[in-house]
Structure 1
Amino acid sequence: MQRLNIPNEILLPEIEKLLASGTCVTLRTKGNSMLPFIVGDRDCVTLEPADNLRLKDIVLAHLPNGHFVLHRIIHIKGEYITLMGDGNLSGKEYCLAKDICGKVRTIRKKGKNIDPNTKAERLKAAVWLKILPVRRYLLAIYRRIYLRNIKFLNDPG
């Protein structure tokens, strides 16, 4: 199957429109901000319209600066939402609930569909958030192992 890469500046506003019309959308993720739960350029997510936002939901947000992020909700206070990528050590984003375009319904990872809203997956997210001070070391180990495996798999010799 041929893969088509469309720049986020073009693709994500269209996805935002589809989600606003009630359509679910599946796309391949980019970047490492959601490691280890979502691996960029490998995993896919199915997004649904954003209803009933809760802590630990993974959402697509259209930030006030015009950028889009796929990050986890770590704090809600009224209409104010704080987001942080699972692979981030300190960076947070802030937006309003109306800026949330969609919510991840399913993560397609290594051929398996994972529901991030199950009790087990939400518990993993809660533990990951609690161990924020240790994340730096765990992510460094994960990246070394992951990048070594990618290099091994792509090495023809």
Structure 2
Amino acid sequence: MLADRLLLDNGQLFSEVAQLLEQGYSVTLRGKGNSMFPFVADGRDSVVLQKAEHVGVGDIVLAQVTERGYVLHRVYKAEGERLTLMGDGNLRATERCRREDVLGKVVRILRNGRYVECSSFPERFKVECWRRLLPVRRYLLFVCRRCFK
């Protein structure tokens, strides 16, 4: 009997993802964890990644971070070649990486059978509002988690 799943450790998986993105392919990954909630929800959403030609503040990227391995987080600050990443569901935790550590950029989120274009005006507007609401994010996350259960 054949297994319906292939189990890879993160190193193997993201090595393959990096190769596919470098070759120009798009890669779709299932969202896992709560660090990107409410924009990418665990078990609900998938993300479509492409090679990152340009990365700026507000973009969701897949990056290799020395102390954490691989993360799918949003660019919070960009200072030259240095990027500060932060998950939408995080209150304070950030990671730092170099632009060259970015494997790919999320271009679409698949939510409930529909694609959300990350570059669309409504999505960018929501992201910027969420970013500016960081001081009260704790309370907003509490409400969001109650509503999405």
**Please, what TM-score do these two structures have when normalized by structure 1?**
0.86
For residue 124 of structure 2, the aligned residue among 108, 122, 125 is 122
Give the C-alpha shift of residue 5 in structure 1.
Answer: 5.5
Give the C-alpha shift of residue 19 in structure 1.
Answer: 1.1
Equivalent residue runs for 1:2-151 within 5 Å: 6-65=8-67, 67-147=69-149
- Which residues of structure 1 form unaligned runs of 5+? 148-157
Letter in 1 for 2:84: T
SS class of match (2:61): strand
Q: For residues 124-152 of structure 1, what are the alpha-carbon distances to aligned partners after superposition, in whole Å with 9 as ceiling and x for unaligned?
A: 111101010111011112212323xxxxx
Call closer, same or farther: CA 1:41–1:5 in 2, change over 3 Å: farther
Q: For residues 38-97 of structure 1, what are the alpha-carbon distances to aligned partners after superposition, in whole Å with 9 as ceiling and x for unaligned?
A: 101221111000111111011100112361111111111110011100010000010000
| Aligned-residue identity in percent | 45
Q: Higher helix fraction: Structure 1 or Structure 2?
A: 1
Call closer, same or farther: CA 1:7–1:30 in 2, change over 3 Å: farther
**Please, what TM-score do these two structures have when normalized by structure 2?**
0.91
SS class of match (2:17): helix
Aligned residues: 146
Superposition RMSD in Å: 1.5
- Which residues of structure 2 form unaligned runs of 5+? none
